[in-house]
């Protein structure tokens, strides 16, 4: 895949949108070749303290329009050449709307941990085995059902007034097409969708007091056509009215598509994403249902078992800020250990935890302390990877694909290599969520399989780094610290 900025020759274009926690990015892509012509950007505002993380959904809509305009302008592209659009969004966020489609309150984001008590109560109400059998995942504070339960208990009037309940990408897809549509991938992160049945689960809906009529229709895949761009949306975005709008999907599912993972591409190949959160996932034909994993569906009809940590790049950046260091100015942590759980943690399930620093000596340097923060974050993600790979042993020998903002940094890459001891592949493409969304858009235009589209575009190719000897001393030091600290972290209010 080649990055280009200008080309006067007319060509069919598709737009893939990555609406993440911090920003929206709109990739303008040549529909024939997959060439990334430009990426438009617009920032989001996240508010909240003491576990709260919220954003006004109207911010996402404005950012979508701004990023599309920026992308077309940067590419020197003509809006009439755009033939389709799709949105990939941050998972799990709770958006409640009135009858006119206006937000009743700011959206509760995936990293809002206030619903931890509701997650525990829901787990007790149904039991772990039943949750895994139905939803494929256990309740944690990140999941949407726990946020709906929190809303019912803490803001009952808002919950009662809701005329529609959406995920972030559903909200934007509906603004684009006028159709209330989601996809199996993002729906599988709600805990009210059954990955076993491929439909909303009436038992789970009854348990959380949610009316199915408030939810969007579930399209067969993220590349299915949700509808066409409405006149109002076309005017807001400056795009041709009537172009296909894909059902879209969650950000992790879109990244998998961008990497060519799925039924028409690579199966059981592990991926580690370093962003605001850290995630590990792999596309598989086996339905996941294991404690400690999110048993997601994929955007193409396969499955996407995933492990997620809350504290990744932002946590390391915070330590760099506190220490007055550049984020790349690190050294191995030595005896120092940092558990960087600054926002609580999802994996392991420690929603009320805070950061922990131990093992300091007079000889400990600032660089070592920052290195220990990287090591703590990477350890937590790789520990989730071990759980992901256990059911599919052949994947243990496959290269680890490293994506996300952290994959651009030497410090993150070397920490992953040193603590994993695995071969690492660095995909050349840097906007895999947006590129995956672009492949979904092209699938909505042509009816093709989105993974086959991305594979033909070759968006997942990359540079391979040989394995390093695994630093078992650092691994064991961090593991023993976590084991010893977990009871105290769990007991925090």
Helix (H) or strand (E) holding 199: strand 199-200
Helix (H) or strand (E) holding 38: strand 36-43
Pairing status of strand 271-274 against strand 400-403: parallel
Catalytic annotation present for 98: no
Cα gap 215→232, rounded to integer Å: 23
Query: Which one from 112, 186, 201, 251 is the annotated catalytic residue?
Result: 251
CB 2 within 8 A of CB 46: no
CB 422 within 8 A of CB 404: no
Write the burial class of residue 339 (CB in 10 Å: 0-12 exposed, 13-18 middle, 19+ buried): buried
Q: Is 92 annotated as a binding residue?
A: yes
Cα gap 225→176, rounded to integer Å: 12
| CA distances to 84, 224, 340 from 355, in Å | 44, 43, 5
Cα gap 435→432, rounded to integer Å: 5
Write out the two tokens for 306.
């995933």
Cα gap 239→447, rounded to integer Å: 21
Q: Is 44 annotated as a binding residue?
A: no
Cα gap 370→329, rounded to integer Å: 8
Tally of CB atoms within 10 A around 405:
17
- Measured in residues, the chain has a length of 493
Residue of 384, 470, 361, 476 whose CA lies nearest to 422? 470
Taking the CA atoms of residue 183, residue 185, residue 190 and residue 195 in that order, the dihedral angle to the nearest 10 degrees is 100
Binding-site positions for substrate read 91-92
Catalytic residues: 251
Binding-site positions read 91-92
């Amino acid at each position: 895949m080649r990055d280009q900025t200008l080309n006067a020759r007319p060509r069919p274009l598709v737009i893939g949108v990555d609406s993440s926690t911090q920003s929206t990015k709109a990739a303008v892509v040549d529909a024939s070749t997959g060439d990334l012509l430009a990426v438009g950007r617009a920032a989001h505002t996240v508010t909240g303290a003491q576990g709260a993380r919220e954003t006004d959904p109207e911010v996402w809509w404005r950012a979508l329009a701004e990023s599309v305009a920026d992308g077309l302008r940067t590419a020197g592209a003509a809006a009439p050449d755009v033939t389709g659009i799709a949105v990939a969004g941050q998972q799990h966020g709770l958006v409640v709307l009135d009858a006119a489609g206006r937000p009743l309150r700011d959206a509760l984001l995936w990293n809002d941990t206030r619903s931890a008590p509701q997650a525990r109560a829901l787990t007790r109400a149904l039991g772990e085995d039943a949750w895994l059998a139905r939803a494929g995942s256990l309740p944690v504070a990140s999941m949407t059902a726990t946020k709906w339960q929190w809303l019912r208990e803490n803001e009952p009037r808002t919950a009662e007034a809701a005329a529609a309940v959406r995920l972030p990408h559903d909200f934007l897809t509906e603004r684009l097409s006028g159709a209330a549509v989601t996809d199996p991938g993002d729906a599988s992160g709600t805990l009210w969708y059954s990955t076993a049945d491929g439909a909303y689960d009436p038992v789970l809906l009854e348990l959380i007091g949610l009316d199915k009529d408030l939810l969007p229709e579930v399209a067969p895949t993220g590349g299915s056509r949700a509808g066409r761009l409405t006149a109002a949306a076309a005017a807001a975005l400056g795009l041709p009215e009537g172009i296909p709008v894909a059902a879209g999907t969650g950000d992790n599912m879109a990244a998998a598509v961008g990497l060519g993972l799925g039924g028409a591409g690579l199966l059981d190949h592990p991926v580690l994403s370093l962003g605001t959160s850290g995630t590990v996932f792999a596309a598989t034909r086996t339905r996941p249902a294991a404690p400690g994993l999110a048993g997601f569906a994929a955007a193409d009809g396969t499955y996407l078992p995933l492990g997620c940590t809350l504290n990744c790049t932002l946590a390391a950046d915070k330590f760099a800020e506190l220490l007055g260091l550049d984020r790349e100015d690190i050294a191995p942590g030595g005896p120092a250990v940092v558990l960087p759980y600054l926002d609580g943690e999802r994996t392991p399930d420690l929603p009320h935890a805070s950061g922990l620093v131990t093992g300091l000596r007079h000889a400990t340097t600032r660089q070592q302390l920052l290195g220990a923060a990287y090591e703590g974050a990477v350890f937590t993600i790789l520990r989730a990877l071990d759980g992901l790979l256990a059911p599919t042993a052949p994947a243990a020998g496959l290269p680890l694909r490293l994506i996300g903002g952290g994959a651009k940094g030497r410090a993150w890459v070397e920490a992953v290599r040193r603590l994993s001891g695995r071969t690492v592949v660095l995909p050349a493409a840097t906007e895999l969520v947006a590129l995956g969304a672009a492949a979904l858009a092209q699938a909505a235009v042509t009816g093709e399989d989105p993974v086959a589209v991305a594979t033909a575009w070759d968006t997942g190719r990359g540079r391979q780094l040989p394995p390093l000897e695994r630093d078992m001393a650092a691994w064991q030091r961090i593991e023993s610290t976590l084991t010893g600290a977990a009871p105290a972290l769990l007991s925090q209010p």
